[in-house]
A = this chain, B = another copy of it.
Amino acid sequence: MEQIKDTSTEAQILQVAERLFMERGYALTSTVDIAKEVGCNQALVHYYYRSKEKLFQKVFDEKSKLFIQALLSPAPEGLTLEEILRQRIELHFNIIQQSPNLPFLVVNELLTNPNRINILKQNLYRISVDAFGALQAILDKEYAAGKIRKVDARQLIINVVSLNVFTFLSLPIASEIFNLHNNQTQQTYLKERKEEIIKTILNGIKA
């Protein structure tokens, strides 16, 4: 169980691979490209990770875990539904913002290689059952108290993911249409978008 330094070639390959896979997807990233950016021989990529496919799966697995945890990690106690949702939406939004290409990658790879679903499925399944159940209990209680309409936890979560993810999927297009070419205007846009998503979700479940 050695501590692998960030500067080791092995780690560098993984880092570069991560970045390139995220930027261009699987098919358009070659092991030659990866080696070139790392500054090592192309055979090294295979020496450490055996095949391009295995290397990709490692990246994809880690990234999809991150993505899912952001969404379904256990909710903190003692908060109102509104507080929970507001906090959860914001957290999820922010984590996607830190890896804005991740939704592209997931979508891209689900298209080109449907087998990748299995990785996602495994990572998702463990967490999802509990998470859905916990949220549904809260929603049912609020509904019984007449505070919200009848809401299915699964639908609600899909709504949140939809709105958050699509913000970044559509960002390149939005940048063109709404002229978000400098960093400042783009940040403003994202902040507005986040607020709008929270409003829409919270309002959307009202009685």
Contacts and interface: CB of A to CB of B under 8 A. Distances in A.
Contacts of A203: 149, 203-206
Interface in A88-134: 101, 104-105, 107-108, 110-112, 114, 117, 120-121, 124-125, 128
Of residues A28, A155, A203, A205, which shows the largest number of chain B Cβ atoms within 10 Å of its Cβ? A203
Given A108-B108, A152-B196, A158-B166, A177 B121 contact: yes
A173 interface: yes
User: Do most interface residues of chain A lie in helix, strand or loop, or is the interface mixed?
Assistant: helix
Nearest to A24: B112
A199 interface: yes
B204 A178 contact: no
A121 to B, nearest CB: 5
A21 B176 CA distance: 25
A27 B113 CA distance: 12
